[in-house]
Amino acid sequence: MIQNTSLAPAENFVINYIILRLPGSTSLEITNELVSFAFFETINDMIEGSITIQNRANISGLMSRFTGQELIEISFASGKGKGNGNGIRSEYKKTFRCLSTELISDCSSTSPTSYISIELSSQFLAVNETNRISKFYDNTNPSFIVNDILTNYASNFNVKVEETASIGKYSIGVTKPNDVITDLLDVAISTEFKSSDFRFFENRDGLNFVSMGSLMSVKPEFSFAVKTPNESLNAGEGNTLNIEYLDAFWLNNSDNNYKDGTFGCNVTSTSLIDQSFEFIKYDRSTLDKDRPLLNDNSTLYQYENVVDNMQTYNKNKLVSSDSIYNKLKDDHGAHKTAVSTLEKTRNDSKRIVIRSAGFTDITVGDIVGVNFLNIDNGNRVSSNININISGNWIIIAIKYSVTLSNLSCEYTLMSDSNIK
């Protein structure tokens, strides 16, 4: 165990263990050999990363017959502050599959220093590459199929699957488990939150097949802010995290607004069976009324003065109403395709990146608050809240960086709205 008890937030954490497990029963604790450990969570995929360790115990000899079945287990947690006197936050415990190794050595020295770098991926991706599914489901729904697949192919994971509406019959023909679940994202509709924007991803807690509507319905427990000279945000005390770096790189994107269906969507559905056509329009204002926002105002609030009856429906979709889509045509007052297109575009209205000390109480998919001021360097007394950056955001990616003395994170946040 490595315990860091500094009052500096990024230096207040504990590494319980890092274990290298080889095929068979051989294992080696390599905690003290750690140089760096970096891995990524994202709301659209499984976890991946890399670890670099010192080769002091001739670990390269143990791994001379690398097979790709080796595992790396890690357990760590951020502190609660005051030199860990208040204990630790949630444990982050994960097992990775080793994909490849690289030996790095300074051969010019008489006593060469060498390191081993190991590329890592989620265990579920390894299972995905070695299994295929061929199955027929009668009168089913996506959540039932996903639960069935994960029960059989991911029994060692914690799993969260949101309830979805029926799609009738569904056939799978010799397909990888992950590919089946990815295809089901396009036909899943939440029965509780009426959300069509589903994501399948791995985070601290396990595997998740959930809608953005469900994730964004939760109130934030933690907030990011810039500490003032009279304020101390030490090592995760309380519910406020100090912003060390902020990049608000995507706050106004005209291409996103005009090209990707922000204002509206046209959907034409056609049936080859009875040669019928149905044409519908779905606009952004209707979506904002049907689906709650993270904050007070749409990002389009006072954005454009659109002439009545001349709204820009510049996203056109052609779909077949036969088979599964016939079940999805009426998605809470509009076609599934139209709602899904506008919902995904709205959810991705703006993004920011925040770098802060590592904090294991939050993970990808969580809602966090951001409190950020417009700083007037000429007159700081007159600074006021930035309505575009402040408010509620959803975490869509985290990069964890771990060394023996430092734990830091880079958070990518996404939001669909502004505060007043």
Q: What is the DSSP letter of 164?
A: B
Name the residue type at position 362. Answer: I
Residue-level pLDDT at 413: 97
What are 312-363's pLDDT values in tens digits? 556 777 777 777 766 776 654 456 788 888 888 888 889 999 999 999 999 9
DSSP single-letter state for residue 334: B
**Helix or strand (DSSP H, E) at 61:** helix 59-62
Q: For residue range 217-265, what is the model confidence (pLDDT) as tens digits?
A: 999 999 999 876 555 555 456 788 989 999 988 776 656 566 677 778 8
User: In this structure, what CATH number is given to the domain that contains residue 83?
Assistant: 2.40.10.10
- The residue with greater pLDDT, 296 or 5, is 296
Q: What are phi and psi of 65, to 5 degrees?
A: -115, 60
Q: Which of 331, 90, 365, 84 is nearest to 203 (CA)?
A: 365
- Residue 137 placed within a domain: no
- What's the rounded Cα separation, in Å, for the pair 168 and 325? 10
Instruction: Give me the long-range contacts of 302-306 (CB less than 8 A, separation at least 24).
Output: 303/257, 304/263, 306/263
Query: Which is higher by pLDDT, 314 or 399?
Result: 399
Is residue 84, in this structure, part of any structural domain at all?
yes
Domain interval for residue 297: 254-343
Query: Could you tell me the two tokens for 396?
Result: 């869509």
Q: What is the CA radius of gyration of the chain?
A: 24
Q: Which of 94, 126, 158 is the last residue of a domain?
A: 126
**Tokens representing 95?**
């097992």
| Residue reference for tokens 């601290």 | 204
Checking if the pLDDT of 13 tops 80, the result is yes
Q: Which of 343, 371, 394 is the last residue of a domain?
A: 343
Q: What is the pLDDT of residue 103?
A: 86
Residue 48 domain-assigned (yes or no): yes
Alpha-carbon dihedral 233, 238, 240, 245, rounded to 10 degrees: 40
Does 266 map to a domain? yes
293, part of any domain: yes
Band of residue 43 on the pLDDT scale cut at 50, 70, 90: very high
Task: Examine residue 6 and state whether it is found in any structural domain, yes or no.
Answer: yes
Residue 295 covered by a domain: yes
Domain termination residue (choose one: 106, 126, 146): 126
Q: Give the containing element (helix H, strand E) for 74.
A: strand 71-78
**What distance in Å separates the CA atoms of residue 32 and residue 17, rounded to the nearest whole number?**
9
Give the chain's domain count.
Answer: 2
Give the list of residues 6+ apart from residue 365 with CB closer than 8 angstroms, or none. Answer: 43, 199, 201, 203, 208, 210, 215, 394, 395
219 domain-assigned: no
